[in-house]
Structure 1
Amino acid sequence: MRRIAFLVAAFFAFNSVNAQNSTSTSQTADISKVVSFKETDHDLGKIPYGKPVEFDVVMTNVSQDSVKIVNVQTQCGCTTPKWKEGPYAAGQDFKIVLGFNGYTDGHFEKYVTVFFSGGVSKQLKFHGDTYKEQVQQSTPNKTR
């Protein structure tokens, strides 16, 4: 009975180590050999508080094979991605449109992760500052 328990424990230990090795190799795939990014840190500058803005993230397939976008994961609900899965041929340019609702007070940094076929991914960043527009109040005419 001890021998069976030992074999079962050894089997699970081996599979656990094997799973960790296969996960680490897929996570270390070099994105620069698959997709080139025109920009990975976009500065939105100063934008009015609550005013939505959009910008393009332009990429190029630098591999010899076609590539697909598997998923685009945003940090919060304030960011909305628009993208097409593909496939994108070798040498082809493509883009993701990122929208930001502007409802962050002051300085902000947001992160978006793009997942591609082949198990590669890239984290992108955008940042800026919001400001509240001054509302001029009219003063009533005073009569003397």
Structure 2
Amino acid sequence: MAFSSVKAQNPSASTQAPDITRVLNFKETDHDLGKIPYGKPVEFDVVMTNISKDSVKIENVQTQCGCTTPKWQAGPYAAGQSFKITLGFNGYTDGHFEKYVTVFFSGGLSQQLKFHGDTFKETVQNTPNKTK
């Protein structure tokens, strides 16, 4: 005897991720670092504001590679409160770069952040030796 299982689909059930734009307002999600010296570390802040009626926590910050270091506090952050994540980049990418960071929040929320720019190698100027 064979049994078959049929699972009914409920069209009213939503499997979509929660809408982060109803909970958090990001000052920017794509930061241009411009031109930076090769190998010179830089940092910048990603500022966001909790625009919901409930508190929110940062659960994790996931970087694309070891060249990016995040600094953050989990919270909780109350309704109306602004907070930040500081992203550091070591600058050891030759030429143009684009890096991505994903921030995971309570309630199943997440946001991908991007930063980009160009590195340049500083030239060392030779100065003549002064001898007497």
TM-score interval for Structure 1 and Structure 2 normalised by the shorter chain: 0.7 to 0.9
* AA of the residue aligned to 2:47: V
RMSD: 2.1
Report the Cα offset of residue 137 of structure 1: 3.6
Q: How does 1:1-144 map to 2 (within 5 A)?
A: 1-3=1-3, 6=4, 10=5, 14=7, 24-25=15-16, 27=17, 29-138=18-127
| TM-score (normalised: structure 2) | 0.88
TM-score by length of structure 1 reads 0.81
Greater helix proportion: 1
Q: Please tell me whether Structure 1 or Structure 2 has the larger radius of gyration of its CA atoms.
A: 1
Separation of aligned partners in 1, 2:113 and 2:42: 17
Moved more, 129-138 or 84-93: 129-138
Over 3 Å off, 4+ runs? 137-141
> Any unmatched runs of 5+ in structure 1?
none
State the percentage of identical aligned residues: 74
How many residue pairs match? The answer is 128
Long gaps (5+) in structure 2: none
